[in-house]
Structure 1
């Protein structure tokens, strides 16, 4: 049901404000008035500070560096909007942290992504917009519509602007090989695949082998996200041993903590290119990190959803106005 007015109402969670402001700038709209309080014992309080009755509301919040708090806040926001008689609530979640928990791969474990999707729906969300899910099949965990966007064209256009010669795209493992091939096709370069093994549930993995010709080339390591930077840096060190000249990296989501950023600074990686899908204060002063905004992509998606237009063209070809490359 369309709200009584056509005005787009964008609101932000506690860690989604910067991203939401960029969205509003693209849409030439004002960020909705709201308030979040975290009490001393950890409880979260949210309040919508303007009327949303019969409005189509868009809530911007990733599950990023503090996924448990951010997820809980998303649920409270959805409930608040629904109790305030919003016509619809669309959750704009650029990064869905628990997408990693997509299966029951050992006894007595939770399928965490399934629990999260069900909670989001039970709270009252009418639609979810996200980007580069770790496991795309999670779209099927939702009964409500999901728009799954891709950072690939925006990241690749920036990489093209660097004019890197003799480039080879390198996937850290076979699991990301399909996406690595898409990136390589977009850039018109060959691909190589790393072979890593992870023995436990920690963030440490060992690079065993690299399949493909990398000697004498410049390499671009690609992955969907990194938490500790361990796999990226281990792979970069292995590539350097195999005669690679310059090493770059590209991530859809950057979750590096303070230690991860320090390791990146001391690594052979020349530049790490990622998006602003996650609010991450640890990366602000690192000259090796380049952030390319995907807020215009989400803003264009919101605009099309609001106008009841098709979103699927954005999956196939991103409009030039959405790709805003800055040096």
Structure 2
């Protein structure tokens, strides 16, 4: 079968980086938004009997991006594609992973059901809010991790006396994985969230950060508030320089300004979300995970195992970042 990569309206830059790694051309396509808000998608070349990969995150415009994915799945299936894989570097609705209060929707499950019903045969994604969300899908899910990419970049900074900091107990397990990779100790923030305002209160830091350079790690940030609160708490506890690493960066313009005015020296994240607000910031460094996704697709096509990519990035992937 022949691989063919197409991009949704917000996935083009990421898809082009993937195609560069794979040495192939991006599929020709068209996306229109009519004046009343309706979305129109069209593949402008044949996909009959091809293995199609649609690149689109559910990120800054989640409702539009999610709906567009559904239309693309239907279009490719009706055009007799052999298989259709959703390459979704960031799945925003994964935050809706449980029924933790009365009369609410488990939004991640609803999205998973819809993507399957629209015709997806497989999903490739990265750093879901919780790994059990893979179970929302009945189709195969390749769940990649930004950790090796981010850690390899952190190593190039040669930070001495490094300590990895989780903003709360919920991310402590992942923070320990960062710490093992970087051969550093761990501290954990004691955070309290009381509502849906996207703000949380950092009550304390558990661990000795006195005289150390701290790396705050988390899966994503919407407002930047928690990162900044943790950074301030670390400063109060005697930490020296503060860095941060995120799998996904969904900050808006206001959030970027807050980071720039904060004690954080550098925020490192990936290009999993096409975020125009972060591109001109001197405090934010974006490293590309497109080569990681491209290598994953290549291994799927060759029917090879993807799991080695979970813990170690091949040098050719990191060299193409």
The interval holding the TM-score normalised by the smaller chain is: over 0.9
Post-superposition CA distance 1:159-206 (Å, at most 9, x none): 001000001000000000000000001000000000110110111100
Post-superposition CA distance 1:21-69 (Å, at most 9, x none): 0000000000000000011111100001000000000000000000000
Post-superposition CA distance 1:208-254 (Å, at most 9, x none): 01100001111000000000000001111111111111000000000
Pick from 147, 151, 157: which aligns with 1:156?
Answer: 151
Partner of 2:142: 147
User: Is residue 303 of structure 2 the alignment partner of residue 304 of structure 1?
Assistant: no
Summarize the alignment of residues 227-306 of structure 1 with structure 2, pairs less than 5 Å apart: 227-306=222-301
Partner of 1:55: 50
User: Is residue 139 of structure 2 the alignment partner of residue 121 of structure 1?
Assistant: no
CA contact (8 A) 2:122 2:140 kept: yes
User: Is residue 30 of structure 2 the alignment partner of residue 35 of structure 1?
Assistant: yes
2-structure distance, mates of 1:325, 1:285: 22
2-structure distance, mates of 1:21, 1:93: 14
Q: Relative to structure 2, which stretch is displaced further, 177-186 or 313-322?
A: 313-322
2-structure distance, mates of 1:268, 1:157: 23
Displacement, 1:316?
3.4
Structure 1 stretches of 4+ with a deviation exceeding 2 A read: none
Post-superposition CA distance 1:135-160 (Å, at most 9, x none): 11010111000000011011000000
Pick from 17, 22, 32: which aligns with 2:12?
Answer: 17
Q: TM-score, normalised by structure 2?
A: 0.99
2-structure distance, mates of 1:88, 1:316: 28
CA contact (8 A) 1:293 1:324 kept: no
CA contact (8 A) 2:148 2:311 kept: no
Q: TM-score, normalised by structure 1?
A: 0.97
User: Is residue 147 of structure 2 the alignment partner of residue 130 of structure 1?
Assistant: no
SS in 2 for 1:249: strand
Partner of 1:187: 182
Gaps of 5+ in 1: none
SS in 1 for 2:296: helix
User: Is residue 61 of structure 2 the alignment partner of residue 66 of structure 1?
Assistant: yes
CA contact (8 A) 1:292 1:325 kept: no
Pick from 188, 192, 205: which aligns with 1:210?
Answer: 205
Between the two proteins, the alignment pairs up a number of residues equal to 321
SS in 2 for 1:220: strand
2-structure distance, mates of 1:257, 1:316: 31
Displacement, 1:325?
7.3
Gaps of 5+ in 2: none
Q: Relative to structure 2, which stretch is displaced further, 309-318 or 296-305?
A: 309-318
